[in-house]
């Protein structure tokens, strides 16, 4: 059976150099928010796709992986339960993606939620402004999410200029932004828009008209919106309406932390020690450690040093410089007081520095 876009995409998630566990890759795509999966996502260089497929089906994922093994593009080592891309696989993926779209801008672990919210809001405002331009107030909103409907009402109220004027400006901002995109991407975005007497195309319809699979359209869309977020942030003065939407999302976007982790971090930020948080919240020490790891992974600017005793940090740093491949076990032999949390934090910091 011929391989599909989805198969080739899965193939690219594996590497010829670093073996990866199938179930870990699955959980990364699904977006399972535990410290170990978050860490692995960064370790496997797959943080960009973390949570990109929230409804992925385990059975279907492994079936595709098996198929990649059967055609020789991936090898499976059942002793350690790890998959590795073969050289043929690498070449096949390169050949395939030389004429298919591959996303380069998505950073789903850190930006996924914000990008999706931005996309929803600007598409909905597109409909609203288009109806305003055509002087029509009798229409059914295409956005069904009550919170977004409420938000749109508030946002429109805050605009100082005349509503017709804002509508024109909004359209012109779209033009300016789309003109900076690869034309195929601009087409995908424009054809998805709905407004006055125009209903946008679904992903499947776009896929059929462009003779590709629906996933390729999803990838283009997510990638393009990631790019639009980047452009909007850079060109604040040229696209003030788009920027005001984005700014608000960015300011509120601390939701990438899970709820319980957020509570832990709030206490830490108030100056409580890890032990105090453990007692106060009546949690296991390991849970609080996980929250901390989640935080430092999702927020790369957070300094890890306050959480590690100074002298241990220094010795561990030196040892890791000597031999970056040191495992936790190796480290514990050298420094008996070493804790796993400290080791993980140091690893994360090194990854930040070295990329």
Listed ranges 43-51, 75-83, 163-171, 240-248: which one lies at the site for another protein (CB under 8 A): 163-171
Report the C-alpha gap between 110 and 255 in whole angstroms.
10
- Minimum CB–partner distance for residue 276 and another protein (Å): 30
Return the ∠ at Cα 86 (arms to 33 and 25), rounded to 5°: 10
Joined tokens for residue 13: 């998630």
- Minimum CB–partner distance for residue 292 and another protein (Å): 29
* Sheet arrangement for strand 82-85: 20-21, 82-85, 74-77
Looking at the Cβ atoms of 150 and 273, the one nearer to another protein is 150
Report the C-alpha gap between 323 and 343 in whole angstroms.
14
Helix, coil or strand: residue 104:
coil
- Minimum CB–partner distance for residue 217 and another protein (Å): 11
Interface with another protein (CB under 8 A), residue total 46
Q: Is 202 in the site for another protein (CB under 8 A)?
A: yes
- Minimum CB–partner distance for residue 232 and another protein (Å): 16
Joined tokens for residue 24: 């870990």
Complete DSSP assignment for 236-267: TTTSHHHHHHHHHHHHH--TTS-HHHHHHHHH
Report phi then psi at 75, rounded to 5: -110, 155
Looking at the Cβ atoms of 2 and 140, the one nearer to another protein is 140
Q: Is 249 in the site for another protein (CB under 8 A)?
A: no
Q: Is 166 in the site for another protein (CB under 8 A)?
A: no
Q: Is 199 in the site for another protein (CB under 8 A)?
A: yes
Joined tokens for residue 12: 């690219």
Q: Is 231 in the site for another protein (CB under 8 A)?
A: no
- Minimum CB–partner distance for residue 191 and another protein (Å): 7
The strand pairing partners of 172, in sequence order, are: none
Complete DSSP assignment for 24-60: HHHHHHHT---HHHHHHHHHTT-GGGTTS-TT--HHH
Q: Choose, by CB under 8 A, the member of 32, 113, 196, 352 that binds another protein.
A: 196
Q: Is 224 in the site for another protein (CB under 8 A)?
A: no
Q: Is 172 in the site for another protein (CB under 8 A)?
A: yes
x/- letters, 94..133, toward another protein (CB under 8 A): -----------------------------x--x--xx--x
- Minimum CB–partner distance for residue 327 and another protein (Å): 39
Question: 191 and 245 in contact (C-beta within 8 Å)?
Answer: no
Q: Choose, by CB under 8 A, the member of 3, 71, 156, 168 that binds another protein.
A: 168
Q: Is 134 in the site for another protein (CB under 8 A)?
A: yes
Residues 6 or more apart in contact with residue 307 via CB below 8 angstroms: 274, 292, 341, 342, 345
User: What are the residues binding another protein (CB under 8 A)?
Assistant: 123, 126, 129-130, 133-134, 137-142, 144, 146-147, 150, 167-168, 170-172, 174-175, 178, 183, 186-187, 189-191, 193-205, 208-210
């Amino acid at each position: 059976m011929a391989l599909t876009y989805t198969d080739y995409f899965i193939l690219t998630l594996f590497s010829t150099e670093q073996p990866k566990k199938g179930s870990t890759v699955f959980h990364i795509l699904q977006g399972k928010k535990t410290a170990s999966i978050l860490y692995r996502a960064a370790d496997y260089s797959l943080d960009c796709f973390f949570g990109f497929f929230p409804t992925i089906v385990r059975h279907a994922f492994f079936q595709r992986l098996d198929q990649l093994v059967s055609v020789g593009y991936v090898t499976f080592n059942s002793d350690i339960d790890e998959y590795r891309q073969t050289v043929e696989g690498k070449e096949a993926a390169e050949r395939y993606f030389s004429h298919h779209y591959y996303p380069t801008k998505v950073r789903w672990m850190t930006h996924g939620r914000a990008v999706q919210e931005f996309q929803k809001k600007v598409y909905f405002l597109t409909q609203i402004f288009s109806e305003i331009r055509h002087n029509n107030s009798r229409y059914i909103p295409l956005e069904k999410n009550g919170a977004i409907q409420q938000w749109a009402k508030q946002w429109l109220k805050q605009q100082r200029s005349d509503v017709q004027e804002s509508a024109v400006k909004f359209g012109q901002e779209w033009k300016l932004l789309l003109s900076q995109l690869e034309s195929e991407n601009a087409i995908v975005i424009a054809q998805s828009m709905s407004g006055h007497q125009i209903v946008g195309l679904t992903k499947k319809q776009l896929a059929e008209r462009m003779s590709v699979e629906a996933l390729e359209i999803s990838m283009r869309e997510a990638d393009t919106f990631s790019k639009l977020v980047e452009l909007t942030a850079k060109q604040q003065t040229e696209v003030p309406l788009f920027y005001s939407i984005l700014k608000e999302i960015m300011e509120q976007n601390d939701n990438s932390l899970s709820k319980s982790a957020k509570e832990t971090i709030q206490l830490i930020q108030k100056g409580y020690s890890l032990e105090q948080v453990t007692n106060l919240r009546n949690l296991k020490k390991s849970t609080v450690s996980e929250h901390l790891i989640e935080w430092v992974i999702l927020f790369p600017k957070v300094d890890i040093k306050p959480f590690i005793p100074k002298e241990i940090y220094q010795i561990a740093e030196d040892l890791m410089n000597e031999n970056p491949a040191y495992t936790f076990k190796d480290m514990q032999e050298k420094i008996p007081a070493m804790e796993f949390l400290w080791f993980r934090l140091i690893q994360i910091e090194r990854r930040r520095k070295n990329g």
